[in-house]
C-alpha cells in the first residue's frame, strides 16, 4: 500500500503539469481565436445543413438575380398561348363560359392546325348552362309552353358531351390539381410509365386528394396532367414546377409533360432515379431525369424542374376572341399550325397571376408555356445534388482561410481578403450559371466567411486589448512611452519564459547611502529616494531604456528588450551622462535639503556600471505574478563594474565591449580589474562625455596625454607618469578628477 501511495505522486504531478499546460494553452490568443472560428463554423454548418426558410430565401434570391442578368434567350418555338383575356370576356360574356364555346374553341384550334391543345383549367363541375340542368330547374315551374320548352331542351345535346366530342377530334390535355385535403377523387392515368432505378413513389410526397375533371371529360382527353406549383417556392415567386405527382400508388405527370407526350404521339415516359445502371447510389433515394419522346430533362431529387425564364413575348399569345374570328383565319393558321397550344386566362378577375424570378407577373399558363419551351430548346438550369455539400465544404474552407489570415496577417489585410473572397465567390457562381447553367449559392459561404472574420477578429481584438492593458500596467512605470507603444503593437503574446538577446545592462548605486540614511527619518528617506530616482528614471526612459527593478537606492536597467533598440550601447551611455547631469542639477539646487541641514558633505554622488552582451530576457516568476527581467553573465559583470567604480573613483564606468559598441563617445581607458568568476582581467573605460565632447580638440589632447599616462604606468616610469598625470589634470573636467586621483595613488 505504501508503494502504491508513493507511486501516485508522480501521476498527480504529471496530471497537474498537464492541467497547467492546458490552462496556459487556453489563455493563448491564437487558441481562443481558433476556438471561436470552430464554434462559428460549426454553427453556420448546422444552419446551412438545416437550411431554414430565411437561408433558402437568400440563396434563391441570388439565383433570381442571375436570371434577371441572363434570362433564357428568346426563340421562336412551337408553343402558343390562347388567352381568355379581358377582350374575350367582353366579347363572349363572363367566365365560366358554356362548354359548347370551349368545344367550338377546341375544334377551331384543331382546324387551324394545332398539334395538341392543353387546358390550364380544371373542369370539375358540370356545365351550369347545359340543357339537362335547365330541364331540372323547369320541372316544377308554372310557365306557359313548359312542356314544349322541355321537349326542345331534350333535343339539344349536353354541353359537356359536346366538349368531350370536340376533344376526341382534336388531341386535348386537361389539368388537375393535387390537394392536401383528403378525398377519393383521382384523375385518369393516360400515361405509360417506365422506371429505371428507384421507384418514384419512394421519393415523391403523396397527395391525399385531388381536384379532377368530370369523368366524361377525362375519358375523352388524350392526356391528364397536374397543374400544381412547387411547395418549395416561397414569397409567391414560381421558380420550380413538379413534373411528377404521386398519391402513394399511382404516378401522374404534369400538364407540360402530357402536352409534350401527346404532341409526339408517345404512349409513355421514362423516369430514371438513383440506383439505375451507370449511376452511383448515393444512399438517398432521388430522381435524376426523365425522357418524353425525344426530349430529356433533368429533375431535382423530388421530381421538379427549375424554370429558366425569358422575357415574356406578346407575339406568342393570342386572344380567344381573335382565334374564333373567321376574318382572321389566315393569320391564326399561320401562327398556330403545328404548335402546342396552351389555353389559359390572364383576365384580372380570374386570379391566375404569378410572380417570376425576372420580376414580372404573368399568367400561370405562361409559366407552363415557358417550361415546355425550355424542354424543347433543351436549355435548363440545374441545382446539382452535390451543390449543398460543396457549399458546406466551401464555407468551412473559406472560414479556415480567413482565420489563418487573421492570425498571420492581421485584421486589415484579412478584411481585404474577405472582400476578395466575396467577389471570387460571386464570380465563380456567376460563371457556373452563365456557362454551365448550374445554380451554386455564393451568398451563404460569403456571409459565413464574413461572420467567421467578425467572430475571430472580435476575439483577437478583445485579447489584444487585454494584453495591451496588461502590458501598460506591467511596463508603464518602467518603459519609455515610445517603447511602450511598440510593445503594445507587438503581435507576440506575453508569457513565461525568455529569449536570448544582445542587451546593454546598467547598474546605478548611490555612494555613501548608509551615512545618508542614518541622518534621515523613514519618511525623509523615502522622500530622498523618490526625489533622486524619479529624474534618474526619466533619463533612462528618455534613451529608450527598460527599468528592470529598484533595489533600495539602486536601479537596474537594460536596453534592446523587450523591443529592439539598435544603438543600445550608445543610448545606455547617453542615459548615464544624463543621470550625471541630473545629480549635478539636484545638488546645485539643494533639492535634498542637505546643505540647509548643515551636513558636512551635502553632495549626493552616484556610481554607474554598464556592460554589453548576451542575456536571457523575458517574463520570469509564476503564471500569476511575474516580472520582465534579464539574466546572465552580462548582468553580473555590469553589477561588478558598478562596484568597481568606487575603486576607480569614476562615477561612470563601462566595459570594453561597451567601448567597442559605442566608439563615438568620449571614453578613456581606466585600467583592468579581475572580476570574480573570470579567468582574465576585464578592461574598463571611464565615460567622460558624449559625441560632442569626443570631437573637441581639448578631448583629443586629453586622450593623447592619457595614453601616455597609461604607457608610463605600464612601463613603471613614475617620473613620466607624474608628468603625464599633471597634463591630464589640466585638460580633464571635474567629472574625471576622481579617476586621476586613482591614477595618482598608483604612481605613489
Question: Model's pTM, two decimal places?
Answer: 0.66
Average pLDDT, the chain: 87
**Confidence check: pLDDT of 133 > 70:** no
DSSP 672-690: EE--TT-SS-EEEEEEEE-
**Confidence check: pLDDT of 278 > 90:** no
**Confidence check: pLDDT of 149 > 60:** no
The count of other CB atoms within 10 Å of the CB of residue 532 is: 22
- Maximum CA pair distance of the chain? 169
Mean of the pLDDT values across residues 522-535?
91
Kindly report, residue by residue over 206-258, the tens digit of the pLDDT: 999 999 999 999 999 999 999 999 988 877 899 999 999 999 999 999 999 99
**Confidence check: pLDDT of 549 > 60:** yes
Domain ranges of the chain: 25-67+386-475, 73-377, 492-691, 696-748
Q: Strand 304-306 vs strand 240-242: parallel, antiparallel, or unpaired?
A: antiparallel
The SS3 of residue 500 is strand
Which one has a higher pLDDT value, 169 or 26? 169
Kindly report, residue by residue over 437-465, the tens digit of the pLDDT: 999 999 999 999 999 999 998 888 887 77
Least trusted range by pLDDT, from 60-69, 217-226, 581-590, 712-721:
712-721
Q: Which is the CATH superfamily of the domain at 492-691?
A: Nucleotide cyclase, GGDEF domain (3.30.70.1230)
DSSP 549-574: EEETTEEEEEES-SS--TTHHHHHHH
The SS3 of residue 241 is strand
Report how far residue 572's alpha carbon sits from residue 613's, in angstroms, rounded to the nearest whole number. Answer: 13
**Confidence check: pLDDT of 512 > 60:** yes
Report how far residue 367's alpha carbon sits from residue 317's, in angstroms, rounded to the nearest whole number. Answer: 12
Least trusted range by pLDDT, from 323-327, 624-628, 722-726:
624-628
Q: What is the 3-state secondary structure (H, E, C) of 344-356?
A: EECCHHHCCEEEC
Predicted local distance difference test score (pLDDT) of residue 150: 58
Quick one: cell of 747? 604612481
User: pLDDT class for 20, splitting at 50, 70, 90?
Assistant: very low
Kindly report, residue by residue over 279-306, the tens digit of the pLDDT: 655 568 899 999 999 999 999 999 999 9
**Confidence check: pLDDT of 496 > 50:** no
Report how far residue 31's alpha carbon sits from residue 21's, in angstroms, rounded to the nearest whole number. Answer: 13
Kindly report, residue by residue over 358-405, the tens digit of the pLDDT: 999 999 999 999 999 999 999 999 999 899 999 999 999 999 998 888
Quick one: cell of 445? 459561404
Query: Please, are residues 257 and 324 in contact by the beta-carbon 8 Å criterion?
Result: no
Mean of the pLDDT values across residues 73-77?
93
The DSSP secondary-structure symbol of 97 reads P
Amino acid at each position: 500500500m505504501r508503494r502504491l501511495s508513493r507511486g501516485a505522486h508522480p501521476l498527480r504531478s504529471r496530471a497537474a503539469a498537464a492541467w497547467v499546460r492546458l490552462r496556459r494553452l487556453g489563455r493563448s490568443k491564437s487558441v481562443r481565436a481558433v476556438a471561436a472560428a470552430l464554434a462559428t463554423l460549426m454553427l453556420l454548418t448546422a444552419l446551412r445543413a438545416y437550411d431554414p426558410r430565411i437561408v433558402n430565401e437568400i440563396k434563391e434570391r441570388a439565383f433570381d438575380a442571375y436570371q434577371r442578368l441572363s434570362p433564357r434567350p428568346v426563340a421562336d418555338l412551337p408553343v402558343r398561348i390562347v388567352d381568355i383575356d379581358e377582350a374575350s370576356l367582353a366579347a363572349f360574356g363572363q367566365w365560366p363560359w358554356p362548354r359548347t364555346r370551349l368545344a367550338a374553341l377546341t375544334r377551331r384550334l384543331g382546324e387551324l392546325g394545332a398539334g395538341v391543345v392543353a387546358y390550364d383549367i380544371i373542369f370539375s363541375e358540370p356545365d351550369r348552362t347545359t340543357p339537362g340542368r335547365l330541364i331540372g330547374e323547369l320541372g316544377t315551374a308554372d310557365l306557359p309552353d313548359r312542356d314544349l320548352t322541355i321537349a326542345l331542351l331534350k333535343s339539344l345535346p349536353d354541353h359537356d358531351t359536346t366538349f368531350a366530342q370536340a376533344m376526341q377530334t382534336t388531341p386535348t390535355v386537361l389539368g388537375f390539381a393535387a390537394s392536401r385535403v383528403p378525398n377519393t377523387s383521382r384523375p385518369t392515368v393516360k400515361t405509360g410509365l417506365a422506371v429505371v432505378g428507384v421507384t418514384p413513389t419512394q421519393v415523391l410526397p403523396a397527395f391525399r386528394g385531388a381536384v379532377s375533371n368530370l369523368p366524361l371529360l377525362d375519358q375523352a382527353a388524350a392526356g391528364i396532367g397536374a397543374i400544381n406549383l412547387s411547395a418549395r417556392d416561397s414569397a409567391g415567386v414560381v421558380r420550380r414546377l413538379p413534373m411528377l405527382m404521386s398519391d402513394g400508388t399511382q404516378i401522374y405527370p404534369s400538364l407540360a409533360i402530357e402536352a409534350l407526350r401527346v404532341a409526339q404521339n408517345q404512349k409513355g415516359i421514362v423516369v430514371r432515379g438513383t440506383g439505375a445502371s451507370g449511376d452511383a447510389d448515393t444512399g438517398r433515394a432521388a430522381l435524376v431525369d426523365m425522357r418524353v419522346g425525344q426530349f430529356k430533362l433533368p429533375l431535382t431529387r423530388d421530381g421538379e424542374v427549375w424554370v429558366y425564364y425569358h422575357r415574356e413575348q406578346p407575339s406568342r399569345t393570342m386572344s380567344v376572341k381573335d382565334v374564333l374570328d373567321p376574318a382572321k383565319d389566315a393569320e391564326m393558321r399561320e401562327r398556330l399550325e403545328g404548335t402546342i397550344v396552351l389555353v389559359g386566362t390572364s383576365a384580372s378577375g380570374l386570379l391566375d397571376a404569378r410572380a417570376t424570378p425576372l420580376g414580372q407577373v404573368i399568367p400561370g399558363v405562361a409559366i407552363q408555356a415557358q417550361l415546355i419551351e425550355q424542354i424543347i430548346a433543351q436549355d435548363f438550369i440545374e441545382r446539382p445534388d452535390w451543390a449543398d455539400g460543396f457549399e458546406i465544404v466551401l464555407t468551412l474552407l473559406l472560414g479556415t482561410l480567413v482565420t489563418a489570415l487573421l492570425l498571420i496577417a492581421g485584421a486589415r489585410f484579412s478584411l481585404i481578403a474577405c472582400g476578395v473572397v466575396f467577389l471570387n465567390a460571386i464570380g465563380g457562381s456567376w460563371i457556373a450559371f452563365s456557362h454551365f447553367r448550374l445554380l451554386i449559392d455564393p451568398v451563404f459561404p460569403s456571409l459565413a466567411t464574413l461572420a467567421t472574420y467578425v467572430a475571430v477578429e472580435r476575439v483577437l481584438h478583445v485579447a489584444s486589448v487585454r494584453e495591451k492593458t496588461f502590458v501598460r500596467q506591467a511596463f508603464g512605470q518602467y518603459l519609455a512611452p515610445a517603447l511602450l507603444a511598440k510593445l503594445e503593437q507587438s503581435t507576440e503574446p506575453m508569457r513565461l519564459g525568455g529569449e536570448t538577446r544582445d542587451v546593454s545592462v546598467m547598474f546605478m548605486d548611490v555612494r555613501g547611502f548608509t551615512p545618508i540614511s542614518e541622518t534621515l527619518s523613514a519618511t525623509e528617506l523615502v522622500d530622498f529616494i523618490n526625489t533622486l530616482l524619479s529624474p534618474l528614471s526619466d533619463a533612462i526612459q528618455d534613451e529608450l531604456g527598460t527599468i528592470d527593478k529598484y533595489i533600495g537606492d539602486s536601479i537596474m536597467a537594460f536596453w534592446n528588450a523587450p523591443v529592439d533598440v539598435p544603438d543600445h550601447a550608445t543610448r545606455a551611455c547617453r542615459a548615464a551622462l544624463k543621470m550625471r547631469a541630473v545629480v549635478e542639477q539636484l545638488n546645485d539646487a539643494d533639492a535634498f535639503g542637505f546643505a540647509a541641514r548643515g551636513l558636512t558633505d551635502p553632495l549626493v554622488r552616484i556610481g554607474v556600471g554598464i556592460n554589453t552582451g548576451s542575456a536571457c530576457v523575458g517574463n520570469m516568476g509564476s503564471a500569476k505574478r511575474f516580472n520582465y527581467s534579464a539574466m546572465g553573465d552580462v548582468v553580473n559583470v555590469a553589477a561588478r563594474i558598478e562596484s568597481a567604480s568606487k575603486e576607480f573613483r569614476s562615477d561612470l564606468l563601462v566595459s570594453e565591449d561597451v567601448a567597442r559598441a559605442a566608439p563615438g563617445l568620449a571614453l578613456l581607458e581606466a585600467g583592468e580589474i579581475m572580476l570574480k568568476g573570470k579567468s582574465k582581467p576585464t578592461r574598463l573605460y571611464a565615460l567622460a562625455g558624449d559625441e560632442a565632447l569626443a570631437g573637441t580638440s581639448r578631448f583629443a589632447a586629453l586622450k593623447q596625454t592619457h595614453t601616455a599616462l597609461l604607457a608610463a604606468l605600464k612601463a613603471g616610469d613614475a617620473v613620466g607618469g607624474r608628468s603625464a598625470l599633471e597634463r591630464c589634470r589640466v585638460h580633464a573636467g571635474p567629472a574625471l578628477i576622481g579617476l586621476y586621483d586613482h591614477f595618482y595613488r598608483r604612481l605613489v
